[in-house]
Structure formats: C-alpha cells, structure tokens
Amino acid sequence: MPRETFRNIGLVARSGSEQALYSLRQLVHFLQQRGCNVIIEKSLDDELGDLGLQAGSRKQLGESCDLVVVVGGDGCLLGAARTFAGHDVPVLGINRGRLGFLTDVLPSELEHRVGQVLDGDYRLESRFLLDMELNRGKRVVGHGAALNDVVLLSGDSVHMIEFELLINGVFVYHQRSDGLIISTPTGSTAYALSGGGPIMHPAIDAIALVPLNPHTLTSRPLVVDGNSEIKLRVTSFRQEPLVSCDGQDGLRVQHDDIIAIRKKPQRLQLLHPPGHDFYEACRSKLGWSSRLGDG
C-alpha cells in the first residue's frame, strides 16, 4: 500500500536562532526543488520574508498542511505538539537544539533524511499527551496540555508541600515533598529521568509518577496505566505552589485545589526517518555503553 504523499509542508522554528534560520533556508530551497508548497509560521515572516512564502498561524498550518517540519530543539517540538496533535498532522523534527530525543534529524543529513520522508520511507509513531485541569471548588480555573509532563512544584518556597494522590478515585497516599512529576513515556527521558524516574519505551501505554525529594525513604516512582485519571489535592504549604505543563509558566495552586490529569483524546503523529531506533537514541544521548566491555 503506497505511503501518504506530502505536498503542503508547514515550517515551524525556534525564533531568533541563527542556526535554525540557516537550516530553514536550506530546507525551503530543497522542498521547493521537490515541488512542495511551503507554508511558514507567521512568526518567521520577518526572517524569511525575502523568500515570498505563504505564512499562517499554527492553527492554519494544522488545517492546511500534510506535514509540519519543526526546526529547533525538543522544547520547540513540545510547543508544536500541543497545537498539531489536535489537527492530526504528522510532525518531523530537525535538531537545532541540544539533546534531540524528538528532533532526531541532524542538520548535516537534512536533505537526505527529508528526501526519504517525502519518498514515503519513514516511521510513524503515535504519542499521547496529558490534559491538566485545575479545579477550585466547582470552577475550572486553569488548564493545559503536555507531551512530556505535568509537574506540581513547591514554587518560590524552599519548604515542602503536602498533597494527596488519588488514581481513578482511589486514595493512594498523602505525601510531603517538593512536588510530583506526572510523566508520559515521551517525557520519561526528560525531567522525570533527572528525578530518578524509569525510562519508558514510547510504545508503552503508561504514566509515571515521580516524587521530588519526598520526606520518606519508601516513596518511589509509581507507574500506572495510561488511561488512569490522576488527581492531586494540595493540603498544606507555606507559599502557593505551581503546576506546570512541559515547563511552561505555571499556574498558582491554592489550598484544597484539585489538579486532574488524564490522557488527551488527540495524539501527536511523530515521524522518524528510516532506521530510527529508540535504544540507539538512548545510547547516543544518555551515554550508554555501545557494546559489552565499553567503559
């Protein structure tokens, strides 16, 4: 069965990056040579205005494009994921950041790898996101979405916070700590990894809950089914804590607020060039040994 053909290509990039701009211009030239219609995000119009390209909002790109290419780091792709997951448009990442777990096409391989994708030679992964809802009494006072993680933090205070955790309506524990990371498999190699959480293969349908400096030696990361509904109720703190999605500006949490977290109905369609291997990415990005006996 023939693979999908990509003709209308949307471009998103990290603003203000000379490296990203260089790769963008290279990419535009290559795509036009391949006969593709290129549409750039409006924020790039000032930097690429001399090319005379059509520009649109991310919403417009999601509605009109067959493929969106993100040029930047994983953080840039995280922001794009929250928009394009709702439009079911596949996303491909060109790495102009640091680690590059999500943006896995190297700039030196840009034309070769993108050419393979345009020829229908690629891997398609479906990654789930989390929906976060902040409830105050009977009112919803905030919400957000995360491809990596939702994090409850003690905020500006060095003091611990206290909260209760419920999963599918069942009380799990009352905890004193600096907070809690609620991570998808995609986010398991990000902040959750720094907090001592498990690395989860992207195909796993699970959510990891990783305590931040808990005030007990027996509190350990917990992995639950990906369809679980997770609720946190903040019961005690010195200053108002924060809840943040993918490291964005956080929302202030008040006493007895309920933070509800569940899987988002829409998923991110993430493209990889042929030969992509999650374990090879772990070896190269995390410094794992490449063969037995390596130090």
Report CA torsion sign: 81, 46, 30, 52: positive
**Which residues are bridge partners to 224 per DSSP?**
207
What backbone torsions phi and psi does residue 19 show, to the nearest 5 degrees?
Answer: -65, -45
* 121 among known catalytic residues: no
Catalytically annotated residue among 45, 46, 74, 156: 74
Read off the tokens for 100.
């590059």
Q: Which DSSP category does 105 fall into? A: B
Cβ–Cβ under 8 Å, residues 39 and 54: yes
Write out the catalytic residue numbers: 74
